[in-house]
Structure 1
């Protein structure tokens, strides 16, 4: 009989580090740094399934599920930015991963990636921020309705957590009855789709998402603020604002403009920063436009090859 708790993924070399499910692919390459991936809020490491295999042909790649997500065990609450960053540091050290590495962060994972690069600059050869969350999104620089929606997201995750705990949300997920999610995961390989359907809507996952986002919105934990001198930095901006956020054209334009300004601000964190717009892509650029992400990382691999 199959073990329902056995991780199912395209990515081999699965192991656990202090309860965190990690996946190593590729072979260490003395010419290139490893590539480490940090997923966003409310998903799992399976979102990198279209990106890792090709990059693993060049160097070693590491993806992992943060505490509570995917096949990882729940972590200590609250899930502050500091705890998330220290968890990644622990994984890197326990695996004895070669450093410095290229760090790729998506959404809230991009926020954590910035903080990691600030706290451990000796670990990071280059930084890729994919439609990354930014502290300005919870401050007055954004339109008030957008700020209210950030706080609403915390309550929605909290509601989803309780619905998951009584078994309703996992039951719906088993039948693929979660509106919109099927379309999102349809581009992923079958093994990754199965893992996403099975794990994303668990009570542990929803609790982790609620706590992480609550800490982000409430600014509980550290907020990155340093510049990175000439650190190679790629800021990837999604081409399409998240659908369904607002039907008001004027407000939508205001939010899109402010998101763009925020991306430019992140680009300017380094003198070597670049801003890349992923035309036609939604928030999950690594799923909608994996070739764009692969191309960016390959360019950084070549760029950092000389300096390490």
Structure 2
């Protein structure tokens, strides 16, 4: 498992990326937070510079990747999870194994979004992997990487690699396990007592996600209200990828969790 440490001090801020993506999405966020404390960006199995994993890439398996990492670096921790990374970091916090000072959920995949479980939502997830591989083989998948082009050149170069055949296969492997994992979270809600949790929601509606975005935003608000110490933050100029459009919101909400903030 490949990871990169930057900064000094504590708590340690660890970043978890979204479905089918390596740690190369954090190029506008990690450096700013590393000025104040230790930060860790990593590539979970099947992504970036980490080894592949032939086991089903369900939530439990991806959580095991993060647990392995946290056992290797000093705590206590603040965990930042984007999209599919949100359920991953929440699940790690639920284990009780680690001293978690706070979570920042960046437009997370949220089990309170009923739209995921509609026939249309289930069909969309079932097709994700095959579509990703098809577009990767044609070269069109690579065009999606342009959303991260504002990052430093070296980070962007790594980010573009996520949109090749290997990244598309990882996307498909994680997408296949998405709905069963989300149903388990939905049926076993956890309030994460005593943990400060910021739920950042991208509320800018685009043509691509106009049918889902409002429902996801409602789910994020519901989650923030349900959590023991939840806080909802509106990223009004962003859709799903807040780390590219409003990275300062993620930076501010993470730094707010530091003990000397």
SS of the equivalent of 1:300 reads: coil
Q: Select the residue among 84, 89, 101 that pairs with 2:67.
A: 89
Select the structure of larger CA radius of gyration.
Answer: 1
CA deviation vs aligned residue, 1:232-269 (integer Å, no higher than 9, x gap): 110001021354135xxxxx3xx444222211222134
Aligned residue for 2:115? 142
How far is the alpha carbon of 1:39 from its aligned partner?
A: 0.4
1:105 aligns with 2:87: no
CA deviation vs aligned residue, 1:20-48 (integer Å, no higher than 9, x gap): 21111112x2xx30101000012221110
Cα gap change, 1:75 to 1:192, in 2 (>3 Å): same
Q: Select the residue among 114, 130, 137 that pairs with 1:158.
A: 130
How far is the alpha carbon of 1:276 from its aligned partner?
A: 0.3
CA deviation vs aligned residue, 1:142-174 (integer Å, no higher than 9, x gap): 287x6524532442322433665xxx35xx37x
In structure 1, list runs of 5 or more residues that go unmatched: 1-19, 247-251
Q: Select the residue among 65, 74, 78 that pairs with 2:52.
A: 74
C-alpha distance in 2 between matches for 1:178 and 1:83: 27
Q: Select the residue among 182, 204, 209 that pairs with 2:166.
A: 204
TM-score by length of 1: 0.76
Cα gap change, 1:188 to 1:41, in 2 (>3 Å): same
Cα gap change, 1:161 to 1:222, in 2 (>3 Å): same
Moved more, 226-235 or 149-158: 149-158
| Contact 2:80–2:103 (Cα < 8 Å) also in 1 | yes
C-alpha distance in 2 between matches for 1:212 and 1:36: 21
1:181 aligns with 2:181: no
Moved more, 289-298 or 269-278: 269-278
C-alpha distance in 2 between matches for 1:260 and 1:105: 16
- Matched positions, count: 259
1:43 aligns with 2:24: no
Cα gap change, 1:150 to 1:178, in 2 (>3 Å): farther
SS of the equivalent of 2:216 reads: helix
Cα gap change, 1:162 to 1:121, in 2 (>3 Å): same
SS of the equivalent of 1:64 reads: strand
Aligned residue for 1:283? 240
